[in-house]
């Protein structure tokens, strides 16, 4: 197959092919598409069953062997921190930060994709890396914004932009190194964030691997949460009937219960968020390198081969979902005939054992955004009837401009 260059055409082409070829086929000479739900689950489980963090380049340069650190150890450190952060106090602080950031832009005519990106990233940054100066936070944010712009921009960046990008990336990396080192030497207080566990692990991990681990989290909060928030606004604007249902629920919800456990406190809103994540799962394609031989029956992956996964294509698979292109949060009502047939069909946060560690806090953030939209702000969008979603590295609403004012 000749691969169309535009990401949108590419995605449409592989969706059509996936339907015709049962979800598993060579997308081109080097990449196997694994878009069948059960196969995606199995290949992920096998591929990452013993994933170890190496320091290969540094080991080679220094002619040494660094200690192996298992990825499961890294994940369990993140999950422990996130569990401690899952309280009314910390979740409430996240929602308050979102409100403050939106308040700064009240009444302005804004690009809503950039605004939601800013709100999602700046409110989540202290969860990943806190206790940093405004200047340090600015550098980290600029690095993440540049990474994201490169991914969502329809045109490739020029040479100067690329050089600036590398410069910002290096300086942002220096911030992370400095924070970890100073915390380790008692020159900065320890924090309840996703970087802190690696201060204790520094002697085993070394600074390069610790930086990689913290960068993984920073990159994870720099992309999907913001694009998911933009998609949420997009569906919110397009569905006044759901705006009404959500407002009814959220105006009556107990604020403390909402901060503690929003998915229980506001089930209608939870269904709305789940449906947004089903239709518009970011990122649209995940590229993975295979580590062990894997037999799919009709074809095989060998170690070193590449494969593609896509929550988006699984969520749009007509064999799994009735009318998959229709936005209908009620498919998540228990027993709904158009709901997910089983757990492998709904995978907005990916697959074990690499599944997104931020799934819960990411959901809290999106539900908090719904509450702000329904109870605090009034959103007006330019030409809502012309709204259209572009498919880049993630779904991105095009020409999505508008303003938020207080109700
Ligand atoms: C709605 C918001 C979010 C979405 C849709 C999302 C989605 C994803 C997806 C699809 C993956 C890849 C999983 C795989 O490879 O199977 C992932 C990985 C990851 N996410 Fe998220 N994510 C979100 C929010 C967050 C947040 C808020 C955090 C941190 C606080 C986070 C941290 C991570 C990390 C650390 C990984 C890498 C896990 C690993 O490599 O083991 N994510 N996310």
The separation between the first and the last C-alpha atoms of the chain, rounded to the nearest angstrom, is 53
**Ligand 1: nearest atom to the Cα of 353:** 41
Distance from residue 27's CA to the centre of ligand 1 (Å): 25
Whether the pLDDT of residue 2 is over 70: the answer is: no
Q: What percent of the chain has pLDDT over 90?
A: 86
- d(Cα 321, Cα 323) in Å, to the nearest integer? 6
Regarding pTM above 0.75, the answer is yes
CA 302 centroid distance within chain: 28
Distance from residue 92's CA to the centre of ligand 1 (Å): 21
What is the predicted pLDDT for the residue at 321? 96
Distance from residue 168's CA to the centre of ligand 1 (Å): 23
What stretches of 153-266 show up as alpha helix (H) in DSSP? 159-184, 197-200, 202-222, 224-238, 240-252, 255-260, 262-265
Whether the pLDDT of residue 4 is over 70: the answer is: no
Whether the pLDDT of residue 153 is over 80: the answer is: no
pLDDT tens digits, residue range 239-258? 999 999 999 999 999 999 99
Distance from residue 364's CA to the centre of ligand 1 (Å): 14
Structure tokens belonging to residue 279 = 């239709």
pLDDT-derived band at 1, boundaries 50, 70, 90: very low
What is the predicted pLDDT for the residue at 332? 97
What is the predicted pLDDT for the residue at 292? 94
**What's the mean pLDDT in 321-331?**
97
pLDDT tens digits, residue range 271-301? 999 999 999 999 999 999 999 999 999 999 9
Q: How far is CA 218 from CA 46, 288, 336, in A?
A: 26, 19, 37
Nearest alpha carbon to residue 395 among 281, 225, 273, 233: 281
Distance from residue 356's CA to the centre of ligand 1 (Å): 3
Tokens 């490739």 locate to 156
pLDDT tens digits, residue range 18-66? 999 999 999 999 999 999 999 999 999 999 988 998 776 667 777 777 7
What is the predicted pLDDT for the residue at 158? 79
What is the predicted pLDDT for the residue at 14? 94
- CB-facing half-sphere around the CA of 50: CA atoms within 13 A: 3
Query: What angle (nearest 5°) sits at the alpha carbon of residue 235, between those of residues 229 and 240?
Result: 130
**Ligand 1: nearest atom to the Cα of 277:** 5
Average pLDDT, the chain: 94
Containing 73, the helix (H) or strand (E) segment is helix 71-85
Strand boundaries in 28-186, DSSP class E: 31-34, 52-53, 69-70, 110-111
Q: Which residue minimizes the CA distance to atom 42 of ligand 1? A: 358
**What's the mean pLDDT in 83-100?**
98
What is the predicted pLDDT for the residue at 353? 96
Q: Which residue minimizes the CA distance to atom 26 of ligand 1? A: 358
Distance from residue 353's CA to the centre of ligand 1 (Å): 12
Residue, of 56 and 332, whose pLDDT is higher: 332
CB atoms within 10 A of CB 312: 25
**Ligand 1: nearest atom to the Cα of 48:** 41
What is the predicted pLDDT for the residue at 295? 96
CB atoms within 10 A of CB 390: 16
Q: Which residue minimizes the CA distance to atom 40 of ligand 1? A: 354
Which residues, judged by CB distance below 6 Å to any ligand atom, belong to the binding site of ligand 1? 44, 75, 124, 127-128, 216-217, 220-221, 224-225, 228, 277, 282, 286, 311, 348-351, 354-358, 361-362, 366
Q: What is residue 133's DSSP assignment?
A: -
Distance from residue 211's CA to the centre of ligand 1 (Å): 17
pLDDT tens digits, residue range 168-226? 999 999 999 999 999 999 999 999 999 999 999 999 999 999 999 999 999 999 999 99
Structure tokens belonging to residue 174 = 């220096």
- CB-facing half-sphere around the CA of 238: CA atoms within 13 A: 18
């Amino acid at each position: 197959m000749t691969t169309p260059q535009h990401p949108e055409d590419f995605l449409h082409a592989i969706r059509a092919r996936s339907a015709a070829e049962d979800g598993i086929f060579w997308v081109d000479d080097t990449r196997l598409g694994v878009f069948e739900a059960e196969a995606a689950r199995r290949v992920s489980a096998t591929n990452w069953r013993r994933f170890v963090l190496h320091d290969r380049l540094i080991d080679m340069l220094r002619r040494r062997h660094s200690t192996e650190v298992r990825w499961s150890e890294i994940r369990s450190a993140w999950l422990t921190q996130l569990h401690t952060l899952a309280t009314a106090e910390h979740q409430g602080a996240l929602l308050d930060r979102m409100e403050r950031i939106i308040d700064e832009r009240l009444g302005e005519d804004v690009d809503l994709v950039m605004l939601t990106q800013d709100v999602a990233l700046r409110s989540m940054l202290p969860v990943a890396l806190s206790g940093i100066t405004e200047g340090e936070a600015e550098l980290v944010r600029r690095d993440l914004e540049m990474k994201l712009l490169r991914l969502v921009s329809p045109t490739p960046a020029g040479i100067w932009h690329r050089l600036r990008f590398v410069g910002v990336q290096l300086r942002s990396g220096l911030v992370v190194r400095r924070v970890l080192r100073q915390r380790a030497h008692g020159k900065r207080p320890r924090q309840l964030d996703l970087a802190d566990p690696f201060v204790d692990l520094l002697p085993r991990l070394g600074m390069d691997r610790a930086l990689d681990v913290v960068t993984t989290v920073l990159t994870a909060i720099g992309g999907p949460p913001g694009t998911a928030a933009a998609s949420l606004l997009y569906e919110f604007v397009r569905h006044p009937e759901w705006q009404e249902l959500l407002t009814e629920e959220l105006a009556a919800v107990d604020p403390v219960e909402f901060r503690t456990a929003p998915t229980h406190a506001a089930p209608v809103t939870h269904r709305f968020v789940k449906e947004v994540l089903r239709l518009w799962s970011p990122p649209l394609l995940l590229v993975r390198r295979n580590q062990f031989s894997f037999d799919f029956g009709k074809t095989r992956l060998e170690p070193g081969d590449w494969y593609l996964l896509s929550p988006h294509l699984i969520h749009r698979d007509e064999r799994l979902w009735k009318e998959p292109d229709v936005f209908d949060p009620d498919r998540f009502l228990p027993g709904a005939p158009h709901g997910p047939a089983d757990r492998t069909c709904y995978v907005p946060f990916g697959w074990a054992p690499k599944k997104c560690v931020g799934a819960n806090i990411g959901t809290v953030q999106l539900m908090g955004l719904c509450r702000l939209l329904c109870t605090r702000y009034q959103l007006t969008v330019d030409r809502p009837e012309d709204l259209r979603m572009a498919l880049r590295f993630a779904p991105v609403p095009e020409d999505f401009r508008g303003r938020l004012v207080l109700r």
